[in-house]
């Protein structure tokens, strides 16, 4: 699936649509609010993100161990080089290349997504504040910036601030929601300073069933609130229509945060199988 060979434009588009369809109807329905050309652009970005996310999580058939995951991510990094050189080899790369003909998508953001997946493949456990921020910048911030370009909402520095703060808020919410799911994979994204403040151990299995987990969620939830508030400051600097998909991303997650702020003992909602890097994109349509 991930490395389907580039053939005709129609076949490439159909392959990317197939990847998108695997996310479920809510994602596909949400993208219909975009003009067709921009919808095709965000589909291409989503498909790349989904491909590398599946590798990092071991869901891709070939990703059987750390060595194979690293090799597969190397292949995608090489495909990005080929794509930006105008010689894509995969259907996803070909669709990104067609987008590059009319949207100046920054290559470094794609590369940072792959870097974030390398971090995930190594299984993050109780990161320090610097590593936590670096991870979020890669798996969420990069997707946020690429999305703003695809939506036609990019206006420079104010858009970068908006995208990075919104992405941070979304990703922190994903982390808060998925503690138990991530623990089953040997991962613990709650940062070390939050664990210390809540009196929790740096062990995924213990944290997932710890009675003070709600206290850790509350502490990290403050960072999500700060990020959403900082993103909201930048809204007025943008035209509302192109920004609408991003605002629709913020809405469901902010509603969940408000419910949690009222009672952090509430259990998290069930996570759909979209992949961490794509959750924010899917939130365009899906109520939490």
Is residue 78 predicted with pLDDT exceeding 50? yes
pLDDT digits (tens, 9 = 90+) for 97-153: 999 999 999 999 999 999 999 999 988 999 999 999 999 999 999 999 999 999 999
pLDDT digits (tens, 9 = 90+) for 189-225: 999 999 999 999 999 999 999 999 999 999 999 999 9
Contact between residue 50 and residue 278 where contact means Cβ atoms under 8 Å apart: yes
pLDDT digits (tens, 9 = 90+) for 221-241: 999 999 999 999 999 999 999
The contacts found for 265-269 with CB under 8 angstroms, 24 or more apart, are 265/214, 268/176, 268/177, 268/178, 268/179, 268/180, 269/177
Both tokens of 164, joined, read 């990075």
| Residue 273: predicted pLDDT | 46
- For all residues of the chain together, what is the average pLDDT? 89
3-state secondary structure of 188: strand
The contacts found for 49-52 with CB under 8 angstroms, 24 or more apart, are 49/113, 49/143, 49/275, 49/277, 49/278, 49/281, 50/19, 50/22, 50/23, 50/274, 50/275, 50/277, 50/278, 51/1, 51/2, 51/19, 51/76, 51/92, 52/76, 52/113, 52/114, 52/117, 52/277
| Residue 279: predicted pLDDT | 52
pLDDT band (50, 70, 90) for residue 27: low
Is residue 287 predicted with pLDDT exceeding 50? no
CA distance 133 to 101: 32
CA distances from 46 to 31, 52, 89, 110, 202 (A): 11, 10, 18, 11, 32
pLDDT digits (tens, 9 = 90+) for 35-68: 999 999 999 999 999 999 999 987 777 767 888 8
| Residue 31: predicted pLDDT | 66
pLDDT digits (tens, 9 = 90+) for 147-180: 999 999 999 999 999 999 999 999 999 999 999 9
- How crowded is residue 277: how many other Cβ atoms within 10 Å of its Cβ? 28
Is residue 281 predicted with pLDDT exceeding 60? no
Q: Which residue has the higher pLDDT, 249 or 165?
A: 165
Q: Nearest Cα to 248, choosing from 42, 10, 5, 48?
A: 42
Contact between residue 219 and residue 190 where contact means Cβ atoms under 8 Å apart: no
């Amino acid at each position: 699936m991930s490395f389907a060979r580039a053939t005709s434009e129609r076949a490439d588009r159909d392959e990317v649509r197939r990847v998108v369809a695997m996310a479920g109807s809510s994602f596909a329905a949400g993208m219909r609010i975009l003009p067709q050309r921009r919808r095709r652009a965000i589909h291409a970005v989503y498909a790349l993100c989904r491909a590398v996310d599946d590798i990092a999580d071991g869901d891709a058939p070939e990703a059987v161990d750390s060595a194979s995951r690293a090799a597969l991510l190397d292949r995608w990094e090489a495909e990005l080089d080929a794509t930006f050189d105008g010689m894509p080899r995969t259907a996803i790369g070909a669709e990104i290349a067609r987008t590059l003909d009319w949207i100046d998508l920054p290559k470094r953001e794609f590369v940072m997504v792959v870097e974030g997946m390398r971090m995930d493949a190594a299984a993050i456990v109780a990161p320090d504040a610097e590593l936590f921020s670096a991870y979020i910048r890669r798996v969420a911030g990069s997707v946020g910036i690429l999305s703003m370009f695809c939506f036609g909402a990019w206006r420079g520095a104010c858009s970068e601030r908006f995208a990075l703060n919104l992405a941070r808020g979304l990703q922190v919410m994903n982390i808060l929601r998925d503690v138990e799911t991530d623990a089953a994979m040997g991962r613990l994204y709650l940062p070390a300073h939050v664990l210390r403040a809540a009196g929790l151990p740096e062990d995924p299995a213990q944290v997932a069933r710890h009675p003070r987990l709600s206290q850790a969620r509350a502490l990290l939830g403050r960072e999500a609130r700060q990020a959403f508030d900082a993103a909201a400051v930048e809204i007025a600097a943008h035209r509302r229509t192109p920004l609408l998909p991003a605002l629709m991303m913020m809405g469901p997650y902010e509603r969940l945060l408000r419910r949690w702020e009222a009672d952090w003992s509430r259990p998290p909602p069930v996570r759909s199988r979209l992949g961490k890097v794509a959750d924010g994109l899917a939130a365009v349509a899906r109520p939490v």
